[in-house]
Amino acid sequence: MTMVPTMPLVAASGSEAVDLHSDPAVAVSLRNISKSFGETYALNAATLDIRKGEFFSLLGPSGCGKTTLLRIIGGFEHPTSGELLIGGRQVLGDHPYQRRTNMVFQHGALFPHLNVAQNIAFGLEMKRLPRATIAKKVDEALALVRLSGFGERGIDQLSGGQRQRIAMARALVNDPEVLLLDEPLGALDLQLRLQMQDELRRLHREIGGTFIFVTHDQSEAITMSDRIAVMDGGKILQVGTPRAVYERPDNRFVAEFMGHSNFYTGTVTHREDDGTGTIAVQGQSFPARIPETFAAGTEVFIALRYEKVEVVADTEQGNSIEGILEEENYRGPTLQRRVNLGTMGSILSDTANTGRQMAFTAGQRVRVRWTLDSPTILPA
């Protein structure tokens, strides 16, 4: 990942905010950006700071406002209220062509009547650069996306992945301060999508610019990003590194949206000074490390990721709960098991298929366990 400078943070709801008006290390600063359509808010007071050189992802379900936010940064949408700075300069009054940004769309949006070189050169020709300069920059852009020699090809002669590379070359050739990527891999099949993820990471490393990437795919955002903003309902709910957002969700939505988890509600029964304790879930004792903000008697929400749960023989003791194995699904790299825990309901385990796991059969009595730090405990 690209290393970014450390900056002093200032508390702000839903984001890691900094004083960006004088901070040269910041590429994009959004302050209370809202976009409404009548009484409906597509964005609601979004505040966000994106550092220079970051690969930053806007992540959330369809309709959460992430594409609207990206289009506002690019100048294709105008906010109802708020403030937007790019490179420390207020840009809300600027047209898209006046901003140091370029956008790559999901389907590339290439001109079908122009060949590859002409597509890439389009923005440069609008700037009326000398022909020799344009030709040189086009060749450099093709080399950057590993498509040297493709300049004379028609767009209809390219594969889906090649078209997306040309779309990126067309955006990058204009030397944008910020590259905006609106789900550029969404229309590709799985294997091609994985290849293009590698290409995007390589381009980011080589160019060293600021990339803002919109996706609804959690694994894609986790794999590619320096930081992620999780959005829902037009609001930014959490900003952080992929590890922080995945391992330490701030709220129930992020816990439910990121990855796959078992969810329970219960009441804290006791908590030791070191944080270890138990939670009563449907009459059963659930072991966990409990934050000090939750005293005995507090109702809490529990999220426990599938991969944190281990299914073991019923002879195992310690912090484990007895149950009956309901089913086991072979998924190639992982084994997913469902265990009935009685009044607590079912719990799912999804662990790496090492080929050395103990064999179980449906109906067999087993135990499930996890480390005390594995569950995420949040207010109910």
Where in the chain are the domains? 10-100+176-254, 260-379
Q: Exposed/middle/buried for 24, CB within 10 Å: 0-12, 13-18, 19+?
A: exposed
* Predicted pLDDT of residue 108: 64
Q: Are 249 and 238 in contact (CB under 8 A)?
A: yes
Q: Are 49 and 63 in contact (CB under 8 A)?
A: no
* pLDDT beyond 80 at 282: yes
Which pLDDT tens digit goes with each residue over 329-346?
Answer: 988 888 999 999 999 999
* pLDDT beyond 70 at 171: yes
Mean pLDDT for 216-233 is 95
Q: Which residue has the higher pLDDT, 15 or 334?
A: 334
Which pLDDT tens digit goes with each residue over 48-82?
Answer: 999 999 999 999 999 999 999 999 999 999 999 99
Retrieve residue 21's tokens. 């008006």
* Predicted pLDDT of residue 189: 81
Mean pLDDT for 350-354 is 88
Q: Which of 6-15, 73-82, 310-319 has the highest mean pLDDT?
A: 73-82
Determine the 3-state secondary structure of 362 from DSSP: coil
pLDDT band at 14 (very low <50, low <70, confident <90, very high): very low
* pLDDT beyond 80 at 318: no
Does domain 10-100+176-254 bear CATH number 3.40.50.300? yes
Distance CA 367, CA 316 (A): 7
Reported pTM = 0.85
Distance CA 266, CA 299 (A): 6
Q: What are phi and psi of 75, to 5 degrees?
A: 90, 10
* Predicted pLDDT of residue 2: 38
Choice among 2-11, 83-92, 100-109 with the minimum mean pLDDT: 2-11
Cα 355 to its chain centre, rounded Å, is 31
Which pLDDT tens digit goes with each residue over 29-55?
Answer: 999 999 998 888 999 999 999 999 999
Cα 137 to its chain centre, rounded Å, is 32
β partners of residue 303: 263, 376
Mean pLDDT for 112-126 is 90
Overall fold of domain 260-379 = OB fold (Dihydrolipoamide Acetyltransferase, E2P) (2.40.50)
Distance CA 142, CA 162 (A): 11
